[in-house]
Amino acid sequence: MEPKNILLEMKDYIVEMGAETINWCMQCGLCTNLCPWRLVPGQTSEEFNIRHMQRLGQMGIEGFEDENILFACSTCGMCQNNCPRGVKIIDNVKAMRASIVGGGMVPAGLRPILGSCHANGNPWSGPRENRTKWQEGLDIPQFGPDTEYFLFVCCHSCYDPRSMKIAKSIATLLQKGGVSFGVIGVEENCCGESMRKVGDEELFQKLAGANIELFNAKGVKKIITTSPHCLWSFKNDYAQLGADWEVVHYTEILGKLIAEGKIAPVTKSGKKVSFHDPCYLGRHSGIYDAPRELLRSIPGIEVKELERSRELSLCCAGGGGRIWGEVPMGERFGELRVLDAVETGAEVLATACPYCVNMLTDACNSLNKQDVLEIRELSEVLVDSL
């Protein structure tokens, strides 16, 4: 075999794009072996090897830029959280993607998404003015100087009809609990979390810059997010850009409301419910107990832990831009999740992330398990119990 050339310039470029820890990697391989792709069959599983990809990046050797490999990572964080060397693997993935996307080589499937963000401030090709459509039938206050919290609703729940229910239930619960909150509405932009993960740093900067300017102008100090992705991005990406807000996920607020007796779930559904930890809520943000406490606060519900839960939770495959990826049936992580829940004896698989709801619902349907398992957002389960 002809020797491959080590290219320090290429390596330095990747590092410059953000892969600052790529050289910390000692190539133990734990990342590859904890990767959810190992749990499914198929070509992507065979080709996508995060250790090897980082190895190529470490030496600036060509080969990592293959679209099917480079964009396979769902940034679930299973590898990163357990990396023995503390390598920021997701940053490395992001940087390697950026080294391609920055050069204009955007994968075909992502082009309309990024384009929509540029044009509409959301990836779902929805007109800006429809951002508030989910509020129909509800009386959602506008954020103002006297409002404590700004409720930031994920674009997915603004535009996806199924997902709108999530926004509705969360808003309803907050209102019932007497939380002072409001929305800004059509001026809001997508948080840009996924755009940054797919390597479009320029787009992210644009979205984030606009949001920071908007939120600060409105006097936002505290934010409630519906999605763990927005939560994480505001807390981490935005903080890097100077944003200084107190950001919480809605599950954290609701926990307090229940503890204070402001919300009192009563309905005894008697169902067996499993909770799927969303990666960006659990591994990325360290929130494991809040959603479980919410479930346990509902009388009569039996909580069944999934085989892989909490720190070991299995990704739904919706992060890192994968929500727009095409994956053949039989290779979807969500299907494993659904089967696991069914095996556990759960009747409801609850989660707390719009992407997870989306991915798990698709999986449930494709497996034809919708009769035995309901995929629900946690807020929906709670609203039902009131």
Question: Residues with Cβ < 8 Å from 212, sequence gap 6 or more?
Answer: 238, 241, 242, 243
Among the listed ranges 52-60, 99-107, 153-161, 329-337, the one in contact with another protein (CB under 8 A) is 52-60
Binding of residue 101 to another protein (CB under 8 A): no
Q: How far is the CB of 235 from another protein (least distance, A)?
A: 22
Binding of residue 49 to another protein (CB under 8 A): yes
DSSP assignment of 210-271: HHHHHHHHHT--EEEESSHHHHHIIIIIHHHTT---EEEEHHHHHHHHHHTTSS--------
Q: How far is the CB of 385 from another protein (least distance, A)?
A: 31
Q: Which residues pair with 295 in a beta bridge?
A: none
Which one of 40, 44, 61, 130 is in contact with another protein (CB under 8 A)? Answer: 61
Which one of 13, 40, 44, 55 is in contact with another protein (CB under 8 A)? Answer: 55
With b meaning 16 or more CB within 10 Å and e meaning fewer, what string describes 355-364?
bbbbbbbbbb
Q: Which residue pairs from 169-172 have beta carbons closer than 8 angstroms and sit at least 24 positions apart in sequence?
A: 169/377, 169/379, 169/380, 169/382, 169/383, 170/226, 170/250, 170/379, 171/135, 171/138, 171/140, 172/138, 172/383
54: DSSP letter: H
Binding of residue 13 to another protein (CB under 8 A): no
Binding of residue 344 to another protein (CB under 8 A): no
Nearest to another protein of 29, 177 (CB atom): 29
What sign does the CA torsion over 9, 10, 16, 22 have? negative
Question: Residues with Cβ < 8 Å from 356, sequence gap 6 or more?
Answer: 276, 278, 316, 318
Which one of 14, 17, 19, 56 is in contact with another protein (CB under 8 A)? Answer: 56
Among the listed ranges 6-14, 214-222, 321-329, 354-362, the one in contact with another protein (CB under 8 A) is 6-14
Q: How far is the CB of 19 from another protein (least distance, A)?
A: 12
CA–CA distance, 364 with 118 (Å, rounded to integer) = 33
Binding of residue 80 to another protein (CB under 8 A): no
Total of chain residues touching another protein, rule CB under 8 A: 37
What sign does the CA torsion over 264, 269, 274, 279 have? negative
Which one of 43, 68, 84, 260 is in contact with another protein (CB under 8 A)? Answer: 84
Binding of residue 180 to another protein (CB under 8 A): no
Nearest to another protein of 85, 268 (CB atom): 85
CA–CA distance, 51 with 283 (Å, rounded to integer) = 20
What is the H or E stretch that residue 151 is in?
Answer: strand 149-152
Nearest to another protein of 55, 133 (CB atom): 55
**Secondary structure class of 23 (helix, strand, coil):** helix
Residues 295-334 that bind another protein (CB under 8 A): 311-312
Q: How far is the CB of 6 from another protein (least distance, A)?
A: 6
Which one of 13, 34, 176, 293 is in contact with another protein (CB under 8 A)? Answer: 34
Binding of residue 6 to another protein (CB under 8 A): yes
Which one of 38, 111, 221, 268 is in contact with another protein (CB under 8 A)? Answer: 38
Nearest to another protein of 46, 146 (CB atom): 46
Q: Which chain residues interact with another protein by CB under 8 A?
A: 1-8, 23-30, 32-35, 38, 46, 49, 51-52, 55-56, 58-59, 61, 82-86, 311-312
